[in-house]
Structure 1
Amino acid sequence: MRVHLKWSLACVIAAASMSSVTAQEYTFKGGYPTPETAQKAYDDADLARAIEAYKFFFPTVSILGTWTGNINAGTRPNEVMLILHGMPEQVVFTPNSDTPYAGGNIDLSHGPMVVEMPPGPLMAVVNDLNQRYVMDMGIPGPDKGKGGKHLILPPGYKGTIPAGYHAVAATTDRVLLLVRVIPPKGDEAAGVALLKTVKIHPLNPSPDWRGIAWVDQGTKPGDFSPVSWERKLDYWKQLKNVIDNDPPYEAYRMEYGRLATLGIEKDKPFEPDARMTRILEKAAQMANDQMRVQSFADRRADRVVWPDRHWEWAVLRPENGTFDLPAYKDLDARSKWFYQAQIESPAMFRRDAGAGSLYWLGVRDANNAFLDGGKTYKLSVPLPVPANLFWSITVYDPETRSEIVTKQDKAALRSMFELKSLTGSTVDLYFGPKAPAGHEGQWVQTIPGKGWFTYFRIYGPQKAAFDGTWKPGDFVELK
């Protein structure tokens, strides 16, 4: 009886405690909310909605950052394209330094655009301004690197599609074209020359069509990310830009309804009062922090690549490149990927020997501690790496998700460049504030007092990269 009495008292105390908590949150008199409760309930609801809206539309605002960065670098939609080399001076979410990029802003409000890929080692992908996959071209596309004509259609296009084109419609008028080239024999200048042979033009060009011009960013600084907006009211202002200037996407109808409760509606002024401004700014900071936690301290068991290593899958869903499962969209996987990276494509996410590329995320050392820029680590990589094309490891800043900026002015070790003359069964790579003596050529500098993370990339991955018969070591701290 005494035991039963103890449990009864415990239950009463717990219930009273829960009632106290409930009473402190919201107060009702006669069944109706007090004015203070009504205000708090609305504030709480608006904050919760804003946090979820922030995460859902982050891919949209992120790729708008790239669109805007391209414009600031001198591009013009449908007219001037950008050559980008993936340098530490440029703020871009997790770029590689292996291959030069060609970035293009395409505006479909003037009609369909054609991209003619020449034969060769070129890889291209199109995402629209919802950062939704539209199509692959080149090696991972339907032309398989043999050259082909591709047609990017505006939303709802009803016109005739000529024969001989690979044609797909976008969900927005503004789309981003990204082309990469594998530099022949590591010759970057030859790779850039090959990029410029890609032909981009309207399906029905006007009589004054002058062709595409190219701007080479070189080592000039540039910001092609949403980092300067993402924790401020500016995030919501930039989102309103897309809502107003691109057609609504039917699949996002419920999410547009969520935005409407926050004062963001198509073709209506966005004029948040002081209360809503505070809520939106707080939501931007909280949601961004939550996305960072998920990216770098993920709790999902399926993040682990091998049970005896601390490497993680950079992307959690390999099925289709759009995070879609039969009954739902994997929102956590979507948020994790787009916080740290840009562009979605089935060729990037597949986990078999037919994949175009493979990305492993490294944030922890062999002791499961976060990577620390003040410490020195060794990473042992078995040779040969199972890559049909090439492989690399690149170091990034967890705040900007861009290449780490140090006095060394280098953030990657690459099989086509620094590591092209490797021999033996293993190569040891080093990461730390100072290069270990004799290993300067296999070292990336890090910053004391600052963390870092890395992507291990394999292009043209072979079966051994997926079946566990080959795997890199963990980062081991050198004392």
Structure 2
Amino acid sequence: MSVNATVLSASAAIWGYPLVQVGLTAAGALTTAGGTLNQWISQDQLSTPTNQAIVTPNYDTLYSQAFLDLTTTGVVVTAPTTVVDRYILFEFMDAYTNVFASTSRRNYPKTNGGGKFLVYGPNSPKVADESGFDAVLQAPTNLVWLLSRTEVKYYFNDTDLAIANSIQKTFTLTTTVSASPKKGVSALIPSGTNSSDPLYFWKVLGTLITFTPPANLSELIPFTPIGISAKGFNSSQVTPQLATLLAQVAVGTDKQLKQLTLGDPVAAVKTPSPFSEINNNWVTFPSLGKFGVNFGFRAGIAATAIAGNLKEDAVYYSGRLDSNGNVLKGTLSYTIDFPVDIPADAFWSITAYYGANGTLIKNAAGIYAVGSHSPSLVQNSAGFYRVQLQSSKPTQNDVNWLPTPSSAEFYLIVRFYQPRAEVLSNTWPVPWIVPVVDYGAISGSGDSPVAPVGTALYSAGDVVKVSLLLIAALFTFII
């Protein structure tokens, strides 16, 4: 095949990757729940290493999700307005993972983040009277992924979990056109095909394009020579030689995006992408959810970090290097000293994940996060919340243990929900991850270890912005 066909195929795969991931996520959820589009599907337990509703989940909220079909109807979504002591966030994403709206007590304080929200698609018929809604939201695509997060205020507390479950059950979803058809998996995955089909990715992409085309159809024009257009995927246009290429590109794109995302963490800090910022060797992406025409960035996030919130709702910092610039490994112990006044108005947490696949770390204690919801967050004599990362339980009484693997590489995510201005501007210094070779070297005195002078990649508090576009560093962030 020509170089042009290869470039077009790769470009089309990167462009369409998020759409396919949303479609497959929706199909999987509907199949598991036995549900349809325009229906809530809720998770009634916090995520575990063997039960994750989405990739790299938090351990602070219960997820509920609905996949809205707005082709011929609007949808009314409601959440309770009387929940004053618990954070609830609704995230509205188009079919290509752009966040076009969110609702929480941040932007709807008078109703505690709840209310009655009317959602229209590009061609949804309008309702006669819109005055009774707290907001009218215009979606850019026919398919919308609505993902909600309901705060669980205490880890290891069945009573509190039951309260969160009861709140989830009050969420409602109603179509404005009562006769609108209830669609299932067949609207997302073409009938008569399965994942063993070499052209499965492209057939799914074609079906989804016809169901929920992009707002800007001109994005599809370059892909016409390989059978992709607003009409879907034209397999009759594909020669055997092109079919072989397309199959290889689909597999290669998925593999390469995941490798790049979980790739060289040192490069991610030393040579950040134009979309990232660095803070004491932690990486964050301030434009998460607002991808625009940055299709490579959008695909990279969809590969392992799909459905991240807008920064106004949550800021995420991914930590894969210690204060000396070395990759985090389970063979070592580390400490992180958080100040007591964490700049998050909803809650904060730090969670550990396996470096190879982004799943929560298995441990006998069942501890997957430390933060606002820890049942007994310990403050040491120096006035810090010291988080100690190691595979075995610490002997000290003034540390907060976050279990890590016994030997494998791992990474951390610090989450700030409803972050304050200093986090939004990335001027608040995220505490260093300090290695301690000998577990016993950490005394119980509360003295804070200091990174050796000159060994860190950047000095404490330094915020680095680099505009150099390096494809190998584009996709180094996990949500």
Which of the five TM-score ranges fits, normalised by the shorter chain?
Answer: 0.7 to 0.9
- Number of residues paired by the alignment? 401
Gap change, CA 1:234 and 1:369, over 3 Å in 2:
farther
Matches of 2:196 and 2:334, distance apart in 1: 32
Match for 1:368: what amino acid?
Answer: G
CA distance in 2, matches of 1:447, 1:229: 35
Q: 1:82 aligns with which of 42, 63, 66?
A: 42
Give the direction of change, closer, same or farther, for the CA distance of 1:363–1:237 in structure 2 (3 Å limit). farther
Q: Which residue in the other structure is 1:31 paired with?
A: none
- In our comparison, the structure showing a higher alpha carbon Rg is 1
SS in 1 for 2:61: coil
Q: 1:63 Cα deviation (Å)?
A: 1.8
Partner of 1:459: 417
Residue 95 of structure 1: CA displacement? 1.4
Q: Which structure 1 segments of 5+ residues have no match?
A: 1-38, 210-227, 350-354
Q: How does 1:37-52 map to 2 (within 5 A)?
A: 39=1, 42=2, 44-52=3-11
- TM-score by length of structure 1 reads 0.73
CA apart distance, 1:434 = 3.2
Of 157, 166, 191, which aligns to 2:164? 191
- Give the TM-score taking structure 2 as reference length: 0.73
**Equivalent residues in 2 for 1:132-151, closer than 5 Å:** 132-142=98-108, 145=112, 147-151=114-118
**Taking structure 1 as reference, are residues 152 and 340 closer, same or farther at Cα in structure 2, changes over 3 Å only?**
same
**Identity, % of aligned positions:** 19
Shift of 1:150: 0.6
Q: Which whole-Å deviations, capped at 9, do the CAs of 1:300-329 have from their partners, x for residues lacking one?
A: 2663433xx11111x2427xx4134xxxx3
CA distance in structure 2 between the aligned counterparts of 1:196 and 1:204, rounded to whole angstroms: 23
For residues 359 and 39 of structure 2, the distance between their equivalents in structure 1, rounded to whole angstroms, comes to: 27
**Rounded Cα–Cα distance in structure 2 between residues aligned with 1:131 and 1:317:** 13
Question: What's the CA shift for 1:333?
Answer: 4.0
More helix by share: 1
For 2:235, what is the secondary structure of its paired residue?
coil
1:384 aligned to 341, 345, 358, which one? 341
Deviation at 1:142, TM superposition (A): 4.5
Aligned AA for 1:105? Answer: F
The Cα of 1:208 is off from its aligned counterpart by 13
Q: Secondary structure at the match of 1:73?
A: helix
CA RMSD of aligned residues (A): 3.4
Q: What does 1:110-189 align with in structure 2 at a 5 Å threshold?
A: 110-119=72-81, 120=83, 121-142=87-108, 145=112, 147-160=114-127, 162-165=130-133, 166-183=135-152, 187-189=160-162
Q: How does 1:16-415 map to 2 (within 5 A)?
A: 39=1, 42=2, 44-74=3-33, 75-83=35-43, 85-91=46-52, 92-119=54-81, 120=83, 121-142=87-108, 145=112, 147-160=114-127, 162-165=130-133, 166-183=135-152, 187-205=160-178, 233-244=199-210, 246-254=211-219, 256-265=220-229, 266-267=231-232, 269-270=234-235, 274-292=240-258, 294-295=260-261, 296-297=263-264, 298=268, 299-300=271-272, 303-306=276-279, 309-313=280-284, 315-317=285-287, 321-324=289-292, 329-343=293-307, 345=309, 348-349=310-311, 355-405=312-362, 409-415=366-372
Alpha-carbon distance, 1:366 to partner: 1.9
Letter in 2 for 1:175: V
Distance (Å, rounded) in 2 between the aligned partners of 1:381 and 1:247: 44
Residue 164 of structure 1 aligns with an amino acid whose one-letter code is G
Q: Measured at CA, do residues 152 and 336 of structure 1 come closer, stay the same or move farther in structure 2, by a change above 3 Å? A: same
- Deviation string 1:346-392 (CA, Å, 9 cap, x unpaired) is xx22xxxxx32211111212222222344433333232322222111
In 2, are the aligned partners of 1:388 and 1:461 still within 8 Å (CA)?
A: yes
Q: Could you tell me how far apart the structure 2 residues matched to 1:230 and 1:57 are?
A: 19
- Distance of 1:194 and 1:264 partners within structure 2: 43
8 Å contact 2:154–2:375 — kept in the other structure? no
Matched residue SS, 1:434 = coil
Residues 444-471 of structure 1 show CA distances to partners (whole Å, capped at 9, x for unaligned) of 23253x4322210011223443464543
Residues 132, 163 of structure 1: CA spacing in aligned structure 2 closer, same or farther, 3 A cutoff?
A: same
Deviation at 1:184, TM superposition (A): 5.2
Structure 1 residues 140 and 286, CA, compared in 2 at 3 Å: closer, same or farther? farther
